[in-house]
Amino acid sequence: MFDQQDKYHKILLEVLGNPVTIHEVKLVAAGNLNQAIFLSTGGGDFFLKTNYSEHPDIFEKEALALEFLKPKTSLHIPSVYGFGKLDDLNYLITEWIPNSRKTPDFWKDLGYGLAQLHMVSAKNFGMDHDNYISHLPQINTPKKKWSEFFISFRLEPMLTKAFYDGLITKAFMERFRGIYDKLPSIFPNEIPSLLHGDLWSGNVMGSGSGGPALIDPAIYFGQREVDLAFSKLFGGFESGFYDAYHDVFPLEPGFDDRVRLYNLYPLLVHLNLFGQSYLSPIEKTVRLLL
């Protein structure tokens, strides 16, 4: 524990510029890559995220995303205090948000806030820099057409990674590519929207006031239905969220039929992160499209 405490002291000194006393250290979560730690100190409470990723800029990109989102939505986005590298340990220090009981209007407010976020637009799909979803690189080279962006920088990189890692066969990879010609006629014609990019229930929490907060973004400008489809992948949000969103920013007809298509991307991400248990729903969607 002493060695870990020493590391935390050094990280806090780098970020805050002055030494602080650590009163409490609590492991909040340990995922497939990151450790999440609560630090209570003489200078306040902090959220520390650490990993040993081969990508030294992974927390820099997360910090950029949080800072980019913060002024663009009424939803609570944690403040960033600093990021860096201590020896071989990557770290990110942000505001500690106590996960409070949700207010009665939580899901409605989340719907309104996401619609507000999606009204922020850009000329092209993509971003001026690449980033990550979990610890997998996410290419954001700008494109004028959503279908070209989605195929070239979302589906194809994850598909080829799954093939080279032995998670899918060459025959399935070629069959999957058979859906690409169908996509341009399926997507609605909409301008790019600012996306959270990884919108599932684990990345939505009650802030200290009980209102909605968003964490762990993988932002880019994309087709806004991506966020809404992702929100349905692991059980969905409460109906008040979708009703509020539609009140502010109605979707084009046929969204429910497009959900499976958008979710090919997060399913491919999960296939690459966690293995072949995520292959079956991908295969089913491909069969339906061909």
CA–CA dist 281, 264 (Å, integer): 8
User: Which pLDDT score is estimated for 32?
Assistant: 67
Q: Is 128 a catalytic residue?
A: no
Tell me the percentage of the chain whose pLDDT exceeds 90: 84
User: Which pLDDT score is estimated for 98?
Assistant: 85
Range name among 151-160, 200-209, 260-269 with the lowest pLDDT average: 200-209
**Is residue 1 scored above 70 in pLDDT?**
no
End-of-domain residue from the set 95, 123, 149: 95
Q: Does any domain span residue 243?
A: yes
The predicted-structure confidence for 175-188, as pLDDT tens digits, reads as follows 999 999 999 999 99
The reply to whether 224 and 110 lie within a common domain is yes
**Is residue 103 scored above 90 in pLDDT?**
no
The reply to whether 67 and 181 lie within a common domain is no
User: Which pLDDT score is estimated for 4?
Assistant: 81
**Rg of the Cα trace of the chain?**
20
End-of-domain residue from the set 42, 67, 95: 95
**Is residue 143 scored above 50 in pLDDT?**
yes
CA atoms within 13 A on the CB side of 130: 12
The reply to whether 88 and 155 lie within a common domain is no
Q: Does any domain span residue 101?
A: no
The reply to whether 171 and 255 lie within a common domain is yes
Name the band, by pLDDT with cuts 50, 70 and 90, for residue 106.
Answer: very high
The reply to whether 6 and 73 lie within a common domain is yes
The reply to whether 117 and 74 lie within a common domain is no
User: Which pLDDT score is estimated for 5?
Assistant: 82
Q: Could you tell me the residue range of the domain that residue 220 belongs to?
A: 106-289
User: Which pLDDT score is estimated for 3?
Assistant: 74
The reply to whether 174 and 279 lie within a common domain is yes
The reply to whether 112 and 71 lie within a common domain is no
| Structure token digits, residue 270 | 């999960």
- At 46, which CATH number? 3.30.200.20
The reply to whether 195 and 261 lie within a common domain is yes
Which stretches within the chain are classed as H helix? Answer: 2-16, 58-69, 106-118, 146-150, 156-164, 170-177, 225-231, 239-248, 255-262, 264-274, 279-289
Q: Does any domain span residue 100?
A: no
Spot the catalytic one: 57, 87, 181, 198: 198
The reply to whether 25 and 129 lie within a common domain is no
Q: Does any domain span residue 156?
A: yes
Distances (CA, A) of 58 to 53, 85, 121, 185, 192: 8, 11, 25, 35, 24
Q: What is the mean pLDDT of residues 191-200?
A: 97
The reply to whether 284 and 216 lie within a common domain is yes
Whole-model pTM over 0.75: yes
The reply to whether 36 and 123 lie within a common domain is no
End-of-domain residue from the set 44, 61, 95: 95
Query: What total number of domains does the chain contain?
Result: 2
- At 276, which CATH number? 3.90.1200.10
**Is residue 2 scored above 60 in pLDDT?**
no
Name the band, by pLDDT with cuts 50, 70 and 90, for residue 235.
Answer: confident
